[in-house]
Amino acid sequence: MNMPAAPIEVIKQHLIDPEICIRCNTCEETCPIDAITHDENNYVVKADVCNGCMACIAPCPTGAIDSWRTVFKAQAYGIEEQFGWDELPPDRPIGEAATASLQGSLVTALGAGEGATDAEDLTHTRTAMVPPWSAAKPYVNLYTHKGPVTATVVGNYRLTDASTDSDIRHIVLDFGAIPFPVLEGQSIGILPPGMTRDGKPHHARQYSIASPRNGERPGYNNLSLTVKRVTHDHEGNVAAGVCSNYLCDLRKGDVVTVIGPFGSTFLMPNHPHSHLLMICTGTGSAPMRAMTEYRRRRRLEGATGKLMLFFGARTKDELPYFGPLMNLPKDFIDTNLAFSRTPGQPKRYVQDAMRERAADLAQWLKDDQTHIYVCGLRGMEEGVLQVLQEIAQGNGLVWPALWTRLKREGRLHVETY
């Protein structure tokens, strides 16, 4: 008697395109089941863990995450193999048997969104992201690694006091006649010149845009960045960051290679009565500056929404944009600063400043017009969300329900690095 043939299981394997990926970690953070990991070279997807829930697709700023190959399950690409890739393997045709199987029930990673809602949990970082309903539609990926654009440096100014160790710079890039449309909250990728130790081109680094959509200078085809020179790694060891040092050392007239723009969810609402609650540390102030300045320019056109800012830095002298920020009218923006290393004063983080304003923040959380933006040090993310939770729960709000609603309505955005 003939035995039934063993089914040939075919999967649509989820991969990440190493040529487009800017290694921003968003996918790894978003994945609800830890199917994504990385090494020094690449971000990769574990075929045996990924369930195709699609939670990672929308948040990816470049679209590198939306890469798929049809393969026999037994021959799925392992993560070690993916770590070594410089480009995706070609999409090879599979045999008829496999095609038939693909059309049947054996396709395992094609859940196309089915799992997205169930995969949502309340651990703060792992929820599908959408922009506010009134956000303008962004352009993304106009320029890629294979087709980058160049911009000319028209300004590079130190924002932090010369007496401090923090070298944070305001860098203005001009695109001349080349279209580079951006929105506040988006970022760009910079391709630093040179090669890695193993002879590969450096991968792009991502930088938030610090200027409004109509230019650092209104009506000009330029944008600004807020770049911190990395001189030590996260563990405190001396390490000269490749791209940040390159950018901080640029001079007027230098030309840089740019890709992007990126980002389709961390965007500001356009309806004039929407409120912006902005919480940031260090260079996380870049998108807040962009949104604040856009609101300031629009204010003249009758915008009534409120702005509230919580901004953390080591000291006053290390807080980028301290001077201009202090000059903004109090009835335009409610600014709360938190300094962690002011000599003779206790360490103060943005979370502490938020706790002090708990009564006001509770009113903001109850207001359907409130849009919340958190950007900066990865370490502050959990603490900030924890305070929001405490304030909500202390004021009769059910945080898990509010959290879900804020995310579903595109009113809570977190970008940390």
> Footprint of ligand FAD on this chain (CB under 6 A)?
24, 187, 205-208, 226-228, 230, 233-234, 239, 241-245, 283, 286, 415, 417
Calpha distance 145→259 (Å, rounded):
7
Residue 283 marked in a binding site? yes
Residues 6 or more apart whose Cβ sits within 8 Å of residue 129: 30, 58, 59, 265, 266, 407, 410, 413
Residue 272 class from Cβ within 10 Å (0-12 exposed, 13-18 middle, 19+ buried)?
A: middle
Residue 316 binds which entry of ligand A2P, ligand FAD, none, CB below 5-8 Å type-dependent: none
Q: Tokens in use for 65? A: 């995450």
Residue 309 marked in a binding site? no
Residue 306 marked in a binding site? no
Calpha distance 291→186 (Å, rounded):
11
Burial 17-37, CB ≥16 within 10 A → b, else e:
bbebbbbbebbbbbbbeebbb
Q: How far is the CB of 384 from ligand A2P (least distance, A)?
A: 7
Question: Does the protein bind ligand A2P through residue 380 (CB under 6 A)?
Answer: yes
Question: Does the protein bind ligand A2P through residue 379 (CB under 6 A)?
Answer: yes
Question: Does the protein bind ligand A2P through residue 273 (CB under 6 A)?
Answer: no
Residue 120 marked in a binding site? no
Q: Which of 340, 342, 389, 404 binds ligand A2P (CB under 6 A)?
A: 340
Q: Which of 286, 377, 387, 414 binds ligand A2P (CB under 6 A)?
A: 377
Phi/psi for 375 (5° steps) reads -150, 140
Residue 340 binds which entry of ligand A2P, ligand FAD, none, CB below 5-8 Å type-dependent: ligand A2P
Residue 67 binds which entry of ligand FAD, ligand A2P, none, CB below 5-8 Å type-dependent: none
DSSP state of 258: E
Question: Does the protein bind ligand A2P through residue 350 (CB under 6 A)?
Answer: yes
* Closest CB to ligand FAD among residues 27, 402: 27
- Contact track, ligand A2P, 294-313, x by CB under 6 A: ------------------xx
Hey, is 153 helix, strand or coil? strand
Q: How far is the CB of 386 from ligand A2P (least distance, A)?
A: 10
* Closest CB to ligand A2P among residues 72, 417: 417
Q: Cis omega before residue 346 (within 30°)?
A: no
Task: Tell me which stretch binds ligand A2P (CB under 6 A): 75-83, 95-103, 205-213, 373-381.
Answer: 373-381
Q: How far is the CB of 379 from ligand A2P (least distance, A)?
A: 4
Residue 383 binds which entry of ligand A2P, ligand FAD, none, CB below 5-8 Å type-dependent: ligand A2P
Residue 352 class from Cβ within 10 Å (0-12 exposed, 13-18 middle, 19+ buried)?
A: middle
Question: Does the protein bind ligand A2P through residue 341 (CB under 6 A)?
Answer: yes
* Closest CB to ligand FAD among residues 56, 303: 56
Q: Tokens in use for 51? A: 């369930």
Q: How far is the CB of 156 from ligand A2P (least distance, A)?
A: 19
Task: Tell me which stretch binds ligand A2P (CB under 6 A): 17-25, 244-252, 289-297, 377-385.
Answer: 377-385
Residue 107 binds which entry of ligand A2P, ligand FAD, none, CB below 5-8 Å type-dependent: none
Residues 6 or more apart whose Cβ sits within 8 Å of residue 358: 390, 391, 394, 395
Question: Does the protein bind ligand A2P through residue 314 (CB under 6 A)?
Answer: yes
Calpha distance 231→245 (Å, rounded):
8
Q: How far is CA 381 from CA 13, 65, 229, 318, 375, in A?
A: 32, 23, 22, 20, 8
- Contact track, ligand A2P, 147-186, x by CB under 6 A: -------------------x--------------------
Of the candidates 9, 52, 55, the one whose C-alpha atom is nearest the C-alpha of residue 28 is 55
DSSP string, 35-95: -EEE-SS-EEE-TTT-----TTTTT-SSSTT-EEEEEEGGGPPPHHHHHT-SSPPP-----
Sheet holding 168-174, edge to edge: 205-208, 187-191, 255-262, 149-158, 168-174, 222-228
Q: Which residue is nearest to ligand FAD (CB)?
A: 241
Residue 289 binds which entry of ligand FAD, ligand A2P, none, CB below 5-8 Å type-dependent: none
Q: How many residues are given for the chain?
A: 417
Q: How far is CA 92 from CA 10, 304, 371, in A?
A: 13, 56, 45
Assess contact for 160 and 229: CB atoms under 8 A: no
Known binding-site positions for NADP(+): 208, 228, 283, 340-341, 347, 376-377, 415
Contacting positions for ligand A2P (CB under 6 A): 166, 281-282, 312-314, 340-341, 349-351, 377, 379-380, 383
